[in-house]
Structure 1
Amino acid sequence: MRYTAPLLNHHADGTLCPTDHRHTTTGKPRHADCPGRVYSSARCTCGVWEMTHPFKGYVNECRKRHLASHPRPEGASALRALLRLT
């Protein structure tokens, strides 16, 4: 099974910040209609790992480490996952 943990950005009121809104490294908006990123979060589809933190880079690094901790599929399923023939 392949697990994912999408990285999401949030405004101060808890609403999701659209992916097309760009920010500076400090979270200040570059989009006119965006109030700015206050925190980022990620949740793995395994159902065990979840993280929320003000620093997007920290959440992203922890997300990558968690995803790397899942065992990789073996055999024919691994080959299909690598080739992505659908």
Structure 2
Amino acid sequence: MPRHSITVTAYHSDDTVCPSEHKHTRTGEPLTEGCTGQDRFISTCSCTTSTSSSSSTKNYAIAEGRRHRAAQQQEESPAPSKGPAVLRELLRLDTDD
């Protein structure tokens, strides 16, 4: 089963990547000279489907990535057994003596 790695990237309003070296306030206002501020965030998964989600807040982009990862892992996990039916079959006593 492949490991799903989520990456969240910040973008300026002119569609350029906002590097992690740029410092911002909690509201996304730039503290670094020359930075236009963080306009949106995109979460991308390393899986082959490579879905991405665009958001105006970093926390929402992170949450979208987690939801995607959980959905992918749920699809890849084997189907649960029939539980009690399987157990009954295994424990059935043959009384045909």
Normalising by structure 1, what TM-score? 0.71
In our comparison, the structure showing a higher alpha carbon Rg is 2
Percent identity between the aligned chains?
Answer: 28
Q: Which runs of 5+ in 2 are unaligned?
A: 78-97
> Over aligned residues, Cα RMSD in angstroms?
2.2
C-alpha deviation, 1:6, in angstroms: 0.6
- Using the TM superposition, give the Cα deviation of residue 16 of structure 1 relative to its aligned residue in structure 2, in angstroms: 0.2
- 1:60 — aligned with what? 62
Q: Return structure 1 stretches of 4+ with deviation > 3 angstroms.
A: none
- Does the CA contact (< 8 Å) of 2:43 and 2:64 recur in 1? no
| CA–CA separation in structure 2 for the residues paired with 1:36 and 1:57 | 16
- Give the superposition deviation at 1:48: 4.7
Amino acid aligned to 1:12: S
Q: How does 1:1-86 map to 2 (within 5 A)?
A: 1-46=2-47, 47-71=49-73
Report how many aligned residue pairs link the two structures: 74
1:43 positional shift: 1.5
* CA-to-aligned-CA distance 1:7-38 (integer Å, 9 cap, x gap): 00000100000011122222101212211000
Structure 1 gaps of 5+ residues are 75-86
State TM-score, norm by structure 2.
0.64
Is the 2:40–2:54 Cα contact (8 Å) retained in structure 1?
yes
